[in-house]
Chain A
């Protein structure tokens, strides 16, 4: 912990070695965060790059009170949100008809990999992806999401519901099918 504090202080002093070390420590985790918020790996790399540049610029404002990882993560999320706001403000989303889908079986839940889920999230339309991420991973409520994304709470709720339907449908399509093939 003290080592991390010293690392943060050194980074704030502009020491390149410390910045490199900090990057090594947090880049893999933050790349995972960026991948969830991005359409593809290239966009995630861009967000990671911009995020770390911001981290090094603002690191002297970190007060050593809360979680440093949470602080960096928040910066990565903000960078992703900024990029989303810049490029997707006028985006329209196709309506997804709401209907009942079968439950996910335990076998599927246990077998599906993190990479598979990551792929599914990245395939979501941008707004659904953002709302789903903010709700599920950042623990925001719909009012907070609405503020961040400059949409109404109703839209946020609707987007989350639709994101869930798409994800569930995709899981069932890919894995139910596989299961059926095995059982056939």
Chain B
């Protein structure tokens, strides 16, 4: 016997198990949009992570360099003291008869590996003892520091002989001094690590450069739903532009340098015209106008300003070329109109960039390689919208609510070729990512990233 519930279940199962219904076409469009958004997010995430990784690597290299430098500084006081005491050592080698020097007292004391107490020293001085003079090589360096002398509370008087030796050294140069091999090594090491060699002096230098860069920009865009529904066609995401500028670089060491300068960059965003449903139904036909047209929704603000939702922000239209016609919108109020045109709009933004980059030299030969990373302040200096028709480009207006100042982060890898000791050719691929939307309009998120190959020449002072 069949259960009553089973009959009901079977009724539903038989009629609905293979039920099919074609979903609306916009579902697939939404899926594609979501997928693209996911890809963009992954790309942005990868760029952000890349930037962080580069910054960490640079910080690590900087820290490592500083640590190495600090280790050397720990050794250097001994070496410095050695130089300071050279005069004292020379004095000991040629003492005058009957003279008594504090250094001699100290040297004598230290030569016995047991520094005398203050009372002992005073007693020795009062007794007029002439301590045995020892060569500098036998004296532990740590016992000859000025700090120790101060502790010993012994008055140091520069004898005439020392003054004479100093004068001789100044006149004849140190080669004529009786420096031991060990002294020379220490002095050499000191020079090397304290950057007093001719080469090291050259490292701490300035250079000035000029470069041009073709930049390939990818514009990441997203919009509020209401904005997007009244927007012109989104246009191409990619654009190619040319930038250039000058740079100043301070080479702070053998490997590290800091760079700034002034750079001009341009970003383009095209807005394709779109076909809206209302005009497809009610607008003038292509035949009436005599050419193929598209249309864009425009709106008149209370001030009379005509505005249109563009891909990179709201376009304030100041004038229109004759090829563009304005039609009343039949869908809504008289404030909403349609622009009829077969041409594309181009929103153009020009920026002057002040970068602050840190460079680390990986290879330093005739061909040199380095990596760089840093931040830039980008000031908006140009904001124009054009329409591209068959005859060329016509000025239309500007984009509203663009941020006057923006910041970007850059990472890059550079190669240079030394033409001469002073002049160098540079090629530097750089990836730049704007840290926030270039538009202040909350409905528009316009955040491009660009890849540029900076090519130029630099001159080193």
The residues of A with any CB-CB pair to B shorter than 8 Å are 16, 19-20, 23, 27-29, 31-32, 35-36, 45, 48-49, 52-53, 56, 103-104, 109, 112-114, 117-118, 121, 132, 135-137, 164, 167-168
- A45–B23 CA distance with the chains assembled, in angstroms: 7
A118 touching B13, Cβ below 8 Å: no
B4 touching A32, Cβ below 8 Å: no
Q: Which of B15, B21, B27, B35 has the most chain A CB atoms closer than 10 A to its own CB?
A: B21
A28 touching B9, Cβ below 8 Å: no
Neighbouring A residues of B22 by C-beta, 8 Å: 27-28, 31
Q: Which residue of B lies closest to A139 (CB)?
A: B13
The smallest beta-carbon distance between B37 and chain A, in angstroms, is 10
A-B contact pairs, 15 of them (CB 8 A): A23-B31, A27-B22, A32-B18, A32-B20, A32-B21, A36-B16, A49-B27, A49-B34, A56-B35, A104-B11, A113-B15, A136-B12, A164-B8, A167-B12, A168-B8
Q: Which residue of B lies closest to A36 (CB)?
A: B16
Neighbouring B residues of A114 by C-beta, 8 Å: 15-16, 19
Q: Mostly helix, strand, loop or mixed at chain B's interface? A: helix
Q: Which of B11, B13, B15, B23 has the most chain A CB atoms closer than 10 A to its own CB?
A: B23
B5 at the interface (CB under 8 A from A): yes
Q: Mostly helix, strand, loop or mixed at chain A's interface? A: helix
Q: Which of B27-63 contact A (CB under 8 A)?
A: 27-28, 30-32, 34-35, 38
Known contacts A20-B28, A23-B28, A23-B31; decide if A136 and B13 are in contact (CB<8 Å).
yes
The residues of B with any CB-CB pair to A shorter than 8 Å are 4-5, 7-9, 11-13, 15-24, 27-28, 30-32, 34-35, 38
Neighbouring A residues of B4 by C-beta, 8 Å: 103
The smallest beta-carbon distance between B432 and chain A, in angstroms, is 27
- A31–B22 CA distance with the chains assembled, in angstroms: 7
Known contacts A23-B28, A52-B31, A104-B8; decide if A112 and B15 are in contact (CB<8 Å).
yes
Q: Which residue of B lies closest to A32 (CB)?
A: B19
B31 touching A49, Cβ below 8 Å: yes
A16, A45, A109, A137: the one contacting B24 at CB < 8 Å is A45
Neighbouring A residues of B8 by C-beta, 8 Å: 104, 164, 167-168
The smallest beta-carbon distance between A100 and chain B, in angstroms, is 9
The smallest beta-carbon distance between B171 and chain A, in angstroms, is 80
